[in-house]
Amino acid sequence: MTRQASRAQQLRQRIAQEAARWLAASGSRNFLQAKRKAAEQLGVSDARHLPSNLEVEDALAAYQQLFRGERQAGELRRLRVAAVEAIRFLSDFAPRLVGPVLEGTADAFSEVNLHLFADSVEEVGHFLRERGIPAALGDRRLRVAGEVYVNQPEYRFLAGGVPVALTVFDHGALRQAPLSPVDGRPMRRASLAEVERLLASPG
């Protein structure tokens, strides 16, 4: 590696670390905004030096482990326990856990995000109303291919102080996940058994 390439790599790492600190402090998961803020703070104007979202996520995980240790681990476990309870409660809709609670970078700002699969969004709304759960209906913008985005219906509510977001898909979408905002690959989804295994893992 040339000296110039080495300096460029070091700069990418510094931007990733600064972006990770901003994400951890703000509770946001807007990687592009974090990278831009970090680059501005470091006086970097060349976009070629910006790290990938995956590099920032790795830096965030390292930051949490180094500076938040047991506190972050406790928050993550609390959210995963809530996710298990929600998945069991919503079992009629084949729920799958996605996002920071699954990936391990969740913190006190994070929500439990589940993907549900139903004949219609109204079916999920009826289920929640029947059980006395006041939920607000909105949507979530997701990338499905290249630069193609869709707005997917989503219910939001609080369960024991934990924010829960239920993104509703039709049954056919169970095998075709939207793309991750971190690495652009199909989003990782976890079933009840997978989340339970995460909870049982000492790590």
Residue written as token pair 């509510």: 157
Q: Is the pLDDT of residue 2 over 80?
A: no
Least reliable range by pLDDT among 4-8, 60-64, 164-168: 4-8
Stretch 97-123: mean pLDDT, rounded? 95
pLDDT category at 7 given cuts 50, 70, 90 is: confident
pLDDT at residue 103 in the model: 92
Q: Is 200 exposed, middle or buried (0-12, 13-18, 19+ CB in 10 A)?
A: exposed
Average pLDDT, the chain: 91
SS3 of 110, please?
coil
Please give the radius of gyration of the chain, using alpha carbons only, rounded to the nearest integer: 18
CATH 3.30.460.10 fits 70-200, yes or no: yes
Give the angle subtended at the CA of 124 by the CAs of 120 and 125, to the nearest 5°.
105
Q: Which tokens belong to 1?
A: 């590696």
Q: Which tokens belong to 29?
A: 């998961």
Q: Which tokens belong to 9?
A: 């790599």
Q: Is the pLDDT of residue 167 over 90?
A: yes
Residue written as token pair 């995956």: 54
pLDDT at residue 107 in the model: 87
pLDDT at residue 1 in the model: 58
| % of the chain exceeding 70 in pLDDT | 96
> Kind of pairing, strands 112-117 and 148-159?
unpaired
Q: Is the pLDDT of residue 3 over 80?
A: no
CA–CA distance, 14 with 63 (Å, rounded to integer): 12
SS3 of 18, please?
helix
Integer CA distances (angstroms), 85 to 76, 97, 147, 195, in order:
14, 11, 35, 11
What is the pTM assigned to this prediction?
0.82
Domain map of the chain by residue range? 3-51, 70-200
* Cβ 21 vs Cβ 36: under 8 Å: no
CA–CA distance, 160 with 151 (Å, rounded to integer): 28
Tens digits of per-residue pLDDT, 29-71?
A: 888 899 899 988 888 887 787 899 989 989 988 888 887 777 8
* Cβ 24 vs Cβ 60: under 8 Å: yes
pLDDT at residue 4 in the model: 67
pLDDT category at 5 given cuts 50, 70, 90 is: low
